[in-house]
Structure 1
């Protein structure tokens, strides 16, 4: 519970403003401001009391020690007020004006002192002209709540284009953020485990109040399994420079969009990120996926999965961070738990109105349910072989699954062309089993496919392999390699009516010949991974020959999970079914056009 001095100071601010003895408005405004009709009032959070005035906001820190933050003494509150201004100024220029001391006069009245820069804030008990310093407040220009992403969302005006702009701005911020050894060590699995254990411990008082025991245990199991089974993936994120000094609390209500939504070709809007965490660098030093997860989780919590997808897709495009999607569910679960914890903390603060506490209880329960949903997906890596005859839609399905899950994707068609010194888009009208499709070339191709899959599995990645897998031996070799890594193997055997496959082959070969014509482009990327460039040379006249060489899948013999998969249905339906088969929850999944 806040010390009386803090509440007295907050209430005294309003009294002083209403009496006309202190400014209610900023001297100048470079940004949109809240309408003057808004009367001064207080807002409670679990750690602060905020005095909202028409053009200004005074943020006082409660004298509490919650473990993860400590505002328990005036000197600590001075320190963290100063730090809050310093860390937020670059992301919100012109908004954080400084720190104002709260002073007690000789008549025992609370007054607002002048605004000081972070470097010159007087210490507690200092004597000023206005009185003796007893506490502090961060002083900010007040921006309209309607300008937050939460406000745009509530009004129904938040769009995919807006979220894409936010993703680009966030990616640019992360690219320039600190990533030295001190920051990078916070990506270590042991420190992630510490963060999780701290959160889970702090949730225990709320068992039976905002979450039940079974939900708690489900989340705990998922975290333990992910940290154990994806250790290599997490260490790889450190090596890739993905651990940065970020924002730490990137919620919808902390991102401000101060211009109208953009149309194609318009200039980027003015975006401000407020309330960057100052009280614990451990919460800022994190995987960039943890920052992406906060906004994505809140959008999903708000039933706008489409906007969450647009945001994540845009961020991945901007950063080319392929493995982000693989760690994203882990951080989505964490963010949902943290927000559920913060909402739960309000239940034990008697100064918070009963109606707000009831709302907090409902919100916390919903957030923990969302966390459990994220925790329902497999924690470990998976090998998915997507095979079948030509024309059955293997590559389209594989690419769509990769864009949804972030798994590493390797295509035998792309690998074969690269081994032959060809670009993926180049065509070869070879007879069945001849040229680069001769048995020796097939062996080389599958050996390379095997090597790439093993390397990715050793890095903790899930792997999708796009190949026909005609031979049982090739499937078994892959499954044995995955089993050696403790990874389950799925063989998705694509099939469709022959007439459908032949029609697809005729259309695709016709398209391929046009793309490969002299003067055309489309040679593809210089990578052994699957590309969006069509690399298959399958043709209708080869279909029967390939069918004759097909070796049926024997799951028990091959030690795989074999799944016959009919593909003559809409792609969104196929994706949803495949995700169910693989045990992936649908909430964070969507169709990405190949």
Structure 2
């Protein structure tokens, strides 16, 4: 059956085996989704783009079943099954198999329909994710990656050459579009602007891939090449009952599915950049890393962000070139593709002089809340001593411990191990050019001193203007016993903070607290005032 006829037929409410009043369609370059009210049906287009081949019915059937299997890993409530379509005695499309001899003429993926405006790409245009929703999203992705199957060593997925190939394929596709004199996607001005940028990005990609090859090999050996989502952009995440839920992972290509977990995450991160949601990006990346402990993977992030931004540009242009030449959407799609290409260029520039911000204060002083607010003003990765402490202890961030385990959790040994981990991660992340916020009690001067004495070894020699290669900022949040105790009681009732410190722990902290000394050049903020307003002007100074 011709695709246009098939689409027109499926737009008829009467064809469905359940009551349907109105049908809305969502079309991409590879599929059409029919929203019927209670259920959604996805039709795969009979297309072949090289990296994807749905041209034969048997292929579409196979990939429909695989889509259900893979996406049930993170959204079992959404993916209901595969629905075959038949021709009835009058050669009309039907959901019913009239006789046992009737063969399917097409297949659909049946899903539970959800509110389209809750898809993150639309939702974030008018709404914001709450702190709880941001945490849920970060931890859902992290937990999925932790549990996902690692690739078998004998397979080629995850080998350096296999990683480079789809990256270079992007440039081939984009340059083909640039080189078409009659292309609806690019005009002569676009060619002269974007062609040199793509050439530069390809050279950078090849050089960066070569530099990182030893790490790429190590990542596969250590099990970071996994059966991932593969298409984790902002339009493949939705809110179900106000909780972020992943959907529509890649089924059509093992090459795109068996990837480094950092490549999977990078897709979401570049989309958040595109929508200028950088505070949300910082929160999700920080929380993800606190759960996976994969700080070493940050070394690959810019490489994968360039790759993912160019994937977005390529797919956007594929969609544009499927439209009639005078279609009103083409101009907007061209601009989106151009923006992603320019965005990819930005990821090749490392921050010249990253900031290290230490937040000091007793438990209950409001450090974590302040740290979260700070991300609205500085793009950074947050290192939380409470989260790292629990990771080292082998428990979940919000998992609570018994009284005896609390003594172990806050023992001298755990304090030491947490301090060592904080220093290690802070130095590593700074050396990659990321700003870092360290959220810890920092009771003793000796705990703080190592953080302003790092000597960074950066992957590239970049002038900073400081001897150490970063700028150090110390913020002391001053809280009295009564206010801190009230804060501890309130967060215990909410159960939304990883800290297990109680009033007893807080009392010991007050007894041993060493306030900042002159040479630390500290900014002191009163916790009581921070409850009322965020001191934006003071922070800027």
Q: Shared fold (TM-score greater than 0.5)?
A: yes
Change (3 A) 1:175 1:166: same
Offset, 1:345: 0.3
Where do 1:85-484 residues align within 5 Å? 85-113=68-96, 128=99, 131-182=102-153, 185-207=156-178, 209-210=185-186, 212-260=194-242, 269=243, 271-350=244-323, 354-377=327-350, 396=358, 404=380
SS state at 2:294 partner: coil
SS state at 2:104 partner: strand
* CA offset digits 1:334-370 (Å, max 9, x no partner): 1111111100001221469812333222211111111
* CA offset digits 1:170-226 (Å, max 9, x no partner): 111111100142598533322111121112111122227456112211211221121
Contact 2:286–2:381 (Cα < 8 Å) also in 1: no
> TM-score normalised to the size of structure 1?
0.60
Whole-angstrom CA distance in 1 between matches of 2:45 and 2:476: 70
Contact 1:394–1:494 (Cα < 8 Å) also in 2: no
Question: Is residue 2:4 matched to residue 1:7?
Answer: yes
* CA offset digits 1:382-420 (Å, max 9, x no partner): 9x9x9xxxxxx98859x99x994799xxxxxxxxxxxxx
Whole-angstrom CA distance in 1 between matches of 2:464 and 2:344: 30
Question: Is residue 2:44 matched to residue 1:23?
Answer: no
Backbone CA RMSD of aligned residues: 4.6
Contact 2:86–2:106 (Cα < 8 Å) also in 1: yes
SS state at 1:193 partner: helix
Change (3 A) 1:83 1:44: same
Offset, 1:377: 3.4
* CA offset digits 1:315-343 (Å, max 9, x no partner): 11111221233322221111111111100
Whole-angstrom CA distance in 2 between matches of 1:352 and 1:374: 33
Contact 1:146–1:152 (Cα < 8 Å) also in 2: yes
Where do 1:70-89 residues align within 5 Å? 70-89=53-72
* CA offset digits 1:41-97 (Å, max 9, x no partner): 333211112222122222111111101111111111111111111111232113222
2:404 aligned residue: none
Offset, 1:108: 2.8
Count of residue pairs brought into register by the alignment: 419
Whole-angstrom CA distance in 1 between matches of 2:40 and 2:317: 25
User: Unaligned regions of 5+ residues in structure 1, if any?
Assistant: 26-35, 115-126, 261-268, 387-392, 408-421, 427-451, 470-474, 496-500, 509-516, 525-532, 544-566, 572-591
Where do 1:505-520 residues align within 5 Å? 520=508
Contact 1:325–1:406 (Cα < 8 Å) also in 2: no
Offset, 1:249: 0.8
2:535 aligned residue: none
SS state at 1:207 partner: helix
Change (3 A) 1:405 1:193: farther
Offset, 1:242: 2.2
2:23 aligned residue: 40
Whole-angstrom CA distance in 1 between matches of 2:381 and 2:128: 28
Whole-angstrom CA distance in 2 between matches of 1:468 and 1:134: 69
SS state at 2:269 partner: helix
Whole-angstrom CA distance in 2 between matches of 1:492 and 1:462: 14
Whole-angstrom CA distance in 1 between matches of 2:154 and 2:174: 27
* CA offset digits 1:121-160 (Å, max 9, x no partner): xxxxxx8469542222112121111222223312323234
Whole-angstrom CA distance in 2 between matches of 1:62 and 1:131: 22
1:511 aligned residue: none
SS state at 1:108 partner: coil
1:447 aligned residue: none
Contact 2:282–2:379 (Cα < 8 Å) also in 1: no
Q: Which has the larger radius of gyration?
A: 1
Whole-angstrom CA distance in 1 between matches of 2:261 and 2:337: 25
> TM-score normalised to the size of structure 2?
0.65
Contact 2:85–2:105 (Cα < 8 Å) also in 1: yes
* CA offset digits 1:412-467 (Å, max 9, x no partner): xxxxxxxxxx98999xxxxxxxxxxxxxxxxxxxxxxxxx99x989xx97899966
Whole-angstrom CA distance in 1 between matches of 2:153 and 2:304: 21
Whole-angstrom CA distance in 1 between matches of 2:116 and 2:335: 23
Change (3 A) 1:349 1:183: farther
Offset, 1:253: 2.1
User: Unaligned regions of 5+ residues in structure 2, if any?
Assistant: 180-184, 360-370, 384-411, 417-423, 437-449, 479-504, 525-538
Change (3 A) 1:288 1:307: same
Change (3 A) 1:568 1:287: same
Whole-angstrom CA distance in 1 between matches of 2:311 and 2:239: 25
